[in-house]
Amino acid sequence: MTGSGRRSARSRIKSSTDGGDDRSLRIEKPNPHPQYRRDRSRDHSLIRIPSVNLKALLGFGIVLFLLVLFLIHHLINPVERPQTPRFQGGHKESLYWGTYRPNVYLGIRARTPQSLVAGLMWTGVKDGRFSMRHVCQNADELKKYGWMRHNGRDYGHQELVDQDMTLMTSFFKSKEDGSGYGGDWTVRIDVRNENSKLSEDLQQTAHLFFYLADEDGNALSLSRDLLDIHDNSLLAFGSRKDIGSWHLHLTSMVRKFGRLQLSDTSDDSSNILVFQISGSIPFRADIAFVSGTDLGGNSRLKDRLNSLTGTLLTTRLDEKEREFDDKFKNSFSLTNELDFESISIGKAAVANLMGGIGYFYGQSKISLPKTSDFKSGERYISYWPAELYTAVPSRPFFPRGFLWDEGFHQLLIWRWDIQICLDIVGHWLDLMNVEGWIPREQILGAEALSKVPEEFVLQHPTNGNPPTLFLVLRETLKDDMMQEYGSTAKLLSDFAILNQMHFDDAYGAYFDFGNHTEKVRLSWQEVGGTNHYASRELVRELLERPRLRFVPHIGYVSLFPFMWRILPPDSLILEKQLDLISNRSILWTDYGLRSLSKTSSMYMKRNTEHDPPYWRGPIWMNMNYLILSSLHHYSKENGPYKDKAKTMYSDLRSNLIRNIVRNYQQTGYFWEQYDQKKGKGKGARVFTGWTSLVLLIMAEAYSEW
């Protein structure tokens, strides 16, 4: 989720100044016409202002203004489509609360624009210095963190290893008689010190901070009772229109009397509360949120609270863990060839993808055409206010929606929970304007915006993404619809024309055709600097004029006819494609297929000074999955290359699984891409977006399109 847009540098545009023309003084004879008096002042000016047709100018201006309004209208107006009732009612309520804040280590919110939000922070230590852990970031240097189990609905279990302190967080949700809309939820936090190597300051105590805030600005009330948190203790209470009255309770093995309350002049109207829990390691704390407290009696409320804490909660969490394992087994049917460790990593793949699903609300900023009258970045218009329920590629790096990533995410999610899949696809389609365009990167709300550099915020209507949502739509369409559209696709496909336009016999590969030259390089050039100092930057330099020709770079981009299985199983071109894929000097490695051939002049070359190689060599799981899927397809098709495809499929599958499992064992993370030389994870970590496709590879679950 990725594409060059994530890493491309900001465009550098230099203005040039044109010299003005010399104008000679014009002297005209007096004109007896009555217009003379009105034009006389211009006759004696140094610059002659030519006469214009004001009506024509006004008309042109009106037409231009209407054209701009028309374009803006189309740009920011959603496409009209039928409502989807399946996403309302009980389905919508069942998904109301969740761990929908993927950018923080543990964050809970509701699927509503202005929600109660909750989260966990704690103090960590490194090199003798304390710092607060809250937002997922590499700077914290956690050894490992991520969901080990998460069903996307009402249960999740996460492990976080911070130096030698281990935190385990569990999320559980239930809907009982008397609950408010969306039900109740609870968080269990276990703090352990398995290795007993904590610094002296942290050996005795760990400091956790649990907070609750109301985005709607509603006041939160703090309990005034003396806390005995060995029992179920009321921390806070309040009321909202969506869920009614609510209570927040805490129970813990830690026994502490009293309360530290900081002076607060706006105590009666605070919309955020932070609770510190300090205890000797190991300890456990259960924090329960019960809604609809004004709807039932005290006895029923007490029963609900007891079921969300203590031994009853332990029992329910154990049941949810078994349910997750059973569903995993039934959904993916992994073969006996995989060892226990690989299966555990497969569980982590789907758990992190489901646990990374977030809810966002806001307005995208859409770039308008730039003119000389506006500075870069100042010309934009806001998209309509919209909500988005979506998976994310990476919690620390990309905790927001990416259009072309999401199609790959759903290849796994639909096999796990078809209702969640369709709900997510529906939210994305709600972002389509009347032109059929969807902004490729969704930066909705303050939390999403906080993780995006300013130069990447604007979305450009001229930029599109591969329509990967069709990958999952094809999986979920009914058979009769598939046959109808499939027949149309075959009529529009012409293998002969494809070969005529894009196949190069010399290379045995498909290439783009256009203006191109291979004689291009980046060279250092001095540019104007500030304070009388010149600066240097890498500038693209053409050594030969581009001409119409094939663009001779073999990589993922030249394999799309193979990926989409356009090639007949008995075609000689299929054999050439298999030869390209299996050639170690071109694409094949022991860790997966590299993105660009070693023989390419662009292999591992920078695109600009600020844009290092991204898709020019490293191994990417989404493309490897599509290629592996096609190898599996051709290994089942009768033809002269069936056995070769089968051998390549088996070898590539083993290489991919082995490398991802090895990296996860060594680092505790899934990675955005993998090095083509040594197989080491690179780029963003905790990248359980399309890297989670390794689970489908383990299960040999491929699409038959």
CATH 2.70.98.110 intervals, the chain: 89-332
Check whether 150 has a pLDDT greater than 80: yes
> What is the structure's pLDDT at 231?
57
- The residue-averaged pLDDT of 677-694 equals 96
Distance CA 253, CA 282 (A): 9
Distance CA 504, CA 580 (A): 13
**Matching residue, tokens 């869920």:** 243
> What is the structure's pLDDT at 21?
42
Check whether 258 has a pLDDT greater than 90: no
What is the per-residue pLDDT across 327-352, written as a single tens digit (0 to 9) for each? 999 999 998 889 999 999 999 999 99
Distance CA 286, CA 170 (A): 9
Q: CB count, 10 Å around CB of 605?
A: 15
Check whether 82 has a pLDDT greater than 90: no
3-state SS, residue 97: strand
Instruction: Work out the pLDDT band at 200, boundaries 50, 70, 90.
Output: low
Check whether 190 has a pLDDT greater than 80: yes
Instruction: Work out the pLDDT band at 254, boundaries 50, 70, 90.
Output: low
Q: How far is CA 33 from the centre of its chain?
A: 71
Helix (H) or strand (E) holding 89: helix 89-94
Distance CA 236, CA 288 (A): 11
Instruction: Work out the pLDDT band at 225, boundaries 50, 70, 90.
Output: low
Check whether 382 has a pLDDT greater than 60: yes
> What is the structure's pLDDT at 265?
47
> What is the structure's pLDDT at 393?
98
pTM of the model: 0.86
Q: Are 343 and 699 in contact (CB under 8 A)?
A: no
Q: Which DSSP string do the residues of 116-178 spell out, in sequence order?
A: EEEEEEEEEEETTEEEEE-B--GGG--SEEEEEEE-SSSEEEEEEEETTEEEEEEEEEE--TT
CATH 1.50.10.10 intervals, the chain: 506-512+553-705
Task: List, in order, residues 6 or more apart from 72 with CB less than 8 Å away.
Answer: 368, 381
3-state SS, residue 533: coil
Check whether 26 has a pLDDT greater than 70: no
Q: Are 664 and 342 in contact (CB under 8 A)?
A: no
3-state SS, residue 578: helix
Instruction: Work out the pLDDT band at 152, boundaries 50, 70, 90.
Output: very high
Q: Are 97 and 110 in contact (CB under 8 A)?
A: yes
88-to-92, 93, 312, 553 alpha-carbon distances in Å:
5, 8, 31, 49
Q: Residue 252: is it exposed, middle or buried by C-beta count within 10 angstroms (0-12/13-18/19+)?
A: buried
Distance CA 320, CA 312 (A): 13
What is the per-residue pLDDT across 502-527, written as a single tens digit (0 to 9) for each? 999 999 999 999 999 988 888 888 87
Distance CA 158, CA 168 (A): 6
> What is the structure's pLDDT at 378?
59
What is the per-residue pLDDT across 636-667, written as a single tens digit (0 to 9) for each? 999 999 999 999 999 999 999 999 999 999 99
Residue 454 sits at φ, ψ, to 5 deg, of: -55, -35
> What is the structure's pLDDT at 259?
46
Q: Which DSSP string do the residues of 218-279 spell out, in sequence order?
A: ---EEP-SPPBTTS-EEEEEEEETTTEEEEEEEEES---B-------TTGGG--EEEEEEEE
- The residue-averaged pLDDT of 297-321 equals 91
**What's the sign of the alpha-carbon dihedral 300, 304, 309, 313?**
positive
**What's the sign of the alpha-carbon dihedral 531, 536, 539, 541?**
positive
Distance CA 364, CA 456 (A): 12
Check whether 273 has a pLDDT greater than 80: yes
> What is the structure's pLDDT at 487?
72
Residue 223 sits at φ, ψ, to 5 deg, of: -65, 135
Is the pLDDT higher at 556 or at 380? 556
> What is the structure's pLDDT at 482?
65
325-to-95, 416, 427 alpha-carbon distances in Å:
21, 12, 29
Q: Are 121 and 133 in contact (CB under 8 A)?
A: yes
Q: Are 184 and 290 in contact (CB under 8 A)?
A: yes
Distance CA 676, CA 504 (A): 26
Instruction: Work out the pLDDT band at 35, boundaries 50, 70, 90.
Output: very low
Distance CA 158, CA 413 (A): 19
Domain spanning 506-512+553-705 has what CATH number? 1.50.10.10
Helix (H) or strand (E) holding 284: strand 283-291
> What is the structure's pLDDT at 33?
45
Instruction: Work out the pLDDT band at 1, boundaries 50, 70, 90.
Output: very low
Tokens of 290: 């019960």
Q: Which DSSP string do the residues of 550-563 spell out, in sequence order?
A: E----BGGG-HHHH
Distance CA 158, CA 188 (A): 10
Q: Are 664 and 695 in contact (CB under 8 A)?
A: no
Distance CA 470, CA 381 (A): 29
What is the per-residue pLDDT across 441-475, written as a single tens digit (0 to 9) for each? 999 999 999 999 888 899 999 888 899 999 999 88
Strand extents, DSSP E, 463-546: 503-504, 509-510, 513-516, 520-527, 535-542
% the chain with pLDDT above 90: 62
Amino acid at 404: W
Check whether 148 has a pLDDT greater than 90: yes
Helix (H) or strand (E) holding 633: helix 621-636
Q: Are 194 and 282 in contact (CB under 8 A)?
A: no
Q: What is the DSSP letter of 77?
A: S
Listed in sequence order, the DSSP H helices in 523-607 are 560-563, 572-582
Q: How far is CA 213 from the centre of its chain?
A: 25
Check whether 41 has a pLDDT greater than 70: no
Check whether 253 has a pLDDT greater than 70: no
Is the pLDDT higher at 303 or at 362? 362
What is the per-residue pLDDT across 388-399, written as a single tens digit (0 to 9) for each? 999 999 999 999
Amino acid at 658: R
> What is the structure's pLDDT at 539?
84
Rg (CA), the chain: 31
Q: Cis ω on the peptide bond leading into residue 396 (within 30° of 0)?
A: no
> What is the structure's pLDDT at 57?
77
Range in 90-104, 207-221, 406-420 the model is least confident about: 207-221
Q: Are 547 and 553 in contact (CB under 8 A)?
A: no
> What is the structure's pLDDT at 372?
36
Domain spanning 89-332 has what CATH number? 2.70.98.110
- Mean pLDDT for all residues in the chain: 85
Q: Are 477 and 421 in contact (CB under 8 A)?
A: no
Residues of 345-371 as b/e, b for ≥16 C-beta within 10 angstroms? bbbbbbbbbbbbbbbbbbebbbbbeee
